[in-house]
Amino acid sequence: MKELRVGVIGVGYLGKFHAEKYANMEGVTLAGVADVDQEAANRVAAKFNTTAYREYHDLLEHVDAVSVVAPTTLHYKIAADCLAKGVDILIEKPMTSTLEEADALIAEADKKDLILQVGHLERFNPAVMAMEEHLTHPLFIESHRIHQFKNRAIDVDVVLDLMIHDIDIILNIVDSPISIIHTVGLPVVTPTTDIANARLIFENGCTANVTVSRISRDNIRRIRVFQPRSFLSVDYGKKEITTIRIKKELDENGMPQQDVVYTSYEEKDSLETELKDFVKNVQDRSMPRVAGREGRRALDMALRIMGQIKEHAEKYKELIKSG
């Protein structure tokens, strides 16, 4: 099989890691990187012995596939141009700014039989992947994604920046439509929402309580899943999973005995796994683990949550005005 020519569009904080992984990947040639910041493109290109482009259109002439790691507002235009050129794409989350844009990309990729993969990195966390085999019938899910404040992506609502990871995971493991959404959120240090909570109630009876914040003094990334006779806890950051199964036998205090297993996967690189999956999908023409429709599904729920938070905020403002 010939070497796959891959490029990266956008080599900021995350994009430069995409370039690094491709540059070190067997069967792949990092054919170039593109960024409107020519100095940034030059630095990354020099480091990984490839070509720098200021205009991504020029890069598209030399690649089979690309990672789109530009700001979200540019995702649709760049991705549409890539598909028009017959280039397979991995587009970072959130895939687009609107559902209409997401639908247009999905339709074009389907029409041309091109790969459209969405970069929901946490799905490739080895602990999350291992968790799936232990799931039976989730009844209650509790998720926390609490980050220290960083002066990055502060123009994006915390729901699109952080919560969308957890939304994607939860929608993937609960096979049921959502019937009720309850939300709360507010800005603290930026003009957009910095802390938010969403309570998602599914038609099958499962409830998910999702909390995100980017203004904490600590970093916490975990999900806990409660189901009949078992409990799972996944630490995304440490890449650890704890599984607890309730036995029928009782202990000396009359309590059900527990079978507790701790497993660590810290040696595995989630981004490398994701990009290798993308390369394999391009080479084999296989369906991505997180395809365009999964990316759209997560975006839809994130926008619904943001809309409800905004609606509550407007009502609160009216109450203050009315005294």
Q: Which of 86, 114, 142 is at the close of a domain? A: 114
In a domain, 167, yes or no: yes
Residue of 69, 39, 65 whose CA lies nearest to 54: 39
Does one domain contain both 202 and 159?
yes
Same domain, 137 and 210: yes
Domain final residue pick, 57, 92, 114: 114
Looking at the fold, whether 139 and 261 belong to one and the same domain comes out as yes
Between the two ends of the chain, the Cα-to-Cα distance in Å is 71
Same domain for 42 and 141, yes or no, is: no
DSSP 163: I
Residue 83 sits in the same domain as residue 221: no
Query: Domain containing 103: what range?
Result: 4-114
What value does the mean pLDDT take over residues 257-276?
90
Burial of 135 (0-12, 13-18, 19+ CB in 10 A): middle
Read off the pLDDT of each residue in 273-293 and give the average, rounded to a whole number.
97
φ, ψ (nearest 5 deg) of residue 315: -65, -40
pLDDT in tens, 47-99: 999 999 999 999 999 999 999 999 999 999 999 999 999 999 999 999 999 99
Q: Which of 59-63, 191-195, 226-230, 239-243 has the lowest mean pLDDT?
A: 191-195
**Which CATH number is 51's domain given?**
3.40.50.720
Q: Are residues 91 and 130 in the same domain?
A: no
Could you tell me if residue 284 is inside a domain? Answer: no
pLDDT of residue 323: 55
Structural domain includes residue 276: no
What's the domain count of the chain? 2
Residue 295 lies in a domain: no
Domain co-membership, 80 together with 208: no
**pTM of the full structure:** 0.91
Cα 152 to Cα 190: distance, rounded to the nearest angstrom: 11
Question: Would residue 282 count as lying in a domain?
Answer: no
- Listed in sequence order, the residues at least 6 apart from 38 whose beta carbon sits closer than 8 Å to its beta carbon are 52, 54
Looking at the fold, whether 258 and 149 belong to one and the same domain comes out as yes
pLDDT tens across 11-33, in order?
A: 999 999 999 999 999 999 999 99
pLDDT band at 322 (very low <50, low <70, confident <90, very high): low
Q: pLDDT digits over 123-138, tens only?
A: 999 999 999 999 999 9
**Who's near 245: CB < 8 A, 6+ residues apart?**
229, 230, 258, 259
